[in-house]
Amino acid sequence: MKGQKFLKITGIIMIIGGALGAIFGLIALAGIGALAQWAGSSEGAGFLYAASGLAAAGGVLQIIAGVTGVKHCANPAKAQTCIVWGAVVAALCVLTNILYMVGGNGFQLSSVALGLVLPALYIYGAVLNKKEIQ
């Protein structure tokens, strides 16, 4: 079952990446707070706070998606749930990058591309899994 392997491997990678994303999102939140305190003003930091908070929350959602993929990789009936989780993770990646861009950090194509590769592979595995039912 090709879809099962795709879903399980990408799910494990999403768990690891989600944990790192959540940790780094929390570190970014603390760093923005420290920088605002040092600068004496938090003007313009609102978008950075939102993006960092969204990155931390996205990391948690990525962990949930990864666990769901690993748990249900052998169950093609749950493939649609995995597809939805993959889409949520991809959407949060795009939204986080938009907020960073609005916050003044510019557009980073590599960040968006790398952030979408794993959810795309995860969704691909879920679609392959779903095709096994049909």
Of these ranges, 34-43, 60-69, 103-112, 123-132, the one predicted with the greatest mean pLDDT is 60-69
pLDDT for 37 equals: 73
CB 58 within 8 A of CB 21: yes
Residue 14 pLDDT level (bands cut at 50, 70, 90)? very high
pLDDT for 43 equals: 67
The rounded Cα 8 to chain-centroid distance in angstroms is: 16
Stronger pLDDT, 105 or 29, i.e. the higher one? 29
For all residues of the chain together, what is the average pLDDT? 85
pLDDT at 1 over 70: no
Stronger pLDDT, 64 or 114, i.e. the higher one? 64
> What mean pLDDT is predicted for residues 91-116?
77
pLDDT for 44 equals: 65
Q: What is the DSSP string of the chain?
A: -HHHHHHHHHHHHHHHHHHHHHHHHHHHHHHHHHHHHHHT--TT-HHHHHHHHHHHHHHHHHHHHHHHHHHTTT-GGGHHHHHHHHHHHHHHHHHHHHHHIIIII---HHHHHHHHHHHHHHHHHHHHHHHTT-
